[in-house]
Amino acid sequence: MTTALDAFALPDIGAEIERAIQRNIKGLDFLTSATPTVGQTPKDEIHRRGTLSLYHYHPMVDEIYRVPVLIVMATTNRGYILDLAPGQSMVEHLLLQGYDVYMMDWNAPRPDEKRLRIEDYVLDFIPDSLRRVQERSGEEDVTLIGYCMGGVLSTLYAALHPGGPMKNLALFTTPIDFSHMKMFHAWSDKRYFDVDRLVDTVGNVPPEMLFASFDMLRPAGRSAGVVQLWDNMDNDEFVKSYRMFDRWGTEMLPLAGEYFRQTVKELMWGNKLHKGELMLGGRKVLLKNIKVPVLHALAQHDHIVPYEAGQPLIAGIGSADKEEVVLKGGHVSLAAGPNAVRRLWPKLDEWLGVRST
């Protein structure tokens, strides 16, 4: 005999069974289909030298701002995080708003590039790329946009080149006080972590080690992500987005050995950037020497670069025109994804537009 309660319960059970079947079918598609295409915005590689690729994106509107934009990516990650797909691309957004966009993207360093140091990025790669942007655009002024450690490199460049040609500096999740990078300190504790032995043995630091260290920052993060994926397996848009972010997260790049050694010793252990003690190319890096307009965007829930690590930047620089903005999101979702579309991208356009003429 079927009760009134059973009459309501049976259709629900049937719906759950059907949903489980559909999720299994979608799961098979997920496992067997090709990885999603990313970085689709048309571009030209205008220069390549070893680990560096310099790209120029094709303009999308007839009238563009006078001052071109050069994006500096972190050396561990590929630049397509800012160009995931049409409608989910910060690069595309900037192009549609009328900016002339270039990007310093990175390739895996060759074995002979294991001796690259921070100086090579700050005093060679960035200045050389800026000169090429100037030549290509016909403009003297250039805006630098730096993401995470790309922001650190951009900041170091700005502090050592107060005379230009950089006109504006926009930074996302850029650490300055490395004493607050608590989880990184946990795995790089100098009482147990022999960075010299590691670099001297392997040369370039393999991405597997870097990937594992990021996983240690959030031990349950990957498992929670897989559970969330399974719960949304019948949502095609969710699955597509998940796969793009997952591809980016797992395609980390090796780090040049000397660059890694220097980053650990000078920045992580010595905290010399924050203390004003960092020396590059025989010159001291002082934040107060930065005088150009600066925007620094930080994320409320950033487990990689906590707010306390990035907060000293605006207070330390010498610019009269400077702004810090703290936005909802995490380290990645601040710059990419639906959260970024609504928050960071419009803010960047609003700030940059009046400073790009």
Point out the residues that are catalytic. 148, 302, 331
- The four Cα atoms 28, 29, 31, 37 give a dihedral, to 10 degrees, of -170
Backbone angles phi, psi at 336, to 5 degrees: -140, 145
d(CA 101, CA 143): 10
Please give the Cα distance from 195 to 190 (Å, whole number): 8
Whether the Cβ atoms of residue 176 and residue 158 lie closer than 8 Å to each other:
no
Q: Identify whether the C-beta of residue 253 lies closer than 8 Å to the C-beta of residue 207.
A: yes
The C-alpha angle with vertex 98 and arms to 129 and 349, in degrees rounded to 5, equals 90
Distance CA 107, CA 70 (A): 17
Q: How far apart are CA 200 and CA 341, in angstroms?
A: 43
How wide is the angle at C-alpha 304 spanned by C-alphas 301 and 310, nearest 5°? 80
Cα-flanking dihedrals φ and ψ of residue 273, to 5°? Answer: -65, -50
**Taking Cα atoms as reference points, which of 210, 190, 204, 13 lies closest to residue 116?**
204
| DSSP, res 205 | B
Q: List all residues 6 or more positions away from 49 whose beta carbon is below 8 Å from its beta carbon.
A: 125, 128
Burial of 323 (0-12, 13-18, 19+ CB in 10 A): middle
Report in angstroms the alpha-carbon separations of 212 from 255, 303, 342: 14, 15, 31
Question: CA-based Rg of the chain, rounded to a whole angstrom?
Answer: 22
Which two structure tokens, joined as six digits, stand for 281?
A: 């190319």
Please confirm whether the linkage preceding 165 is cis (ω < 30° from 0): yes
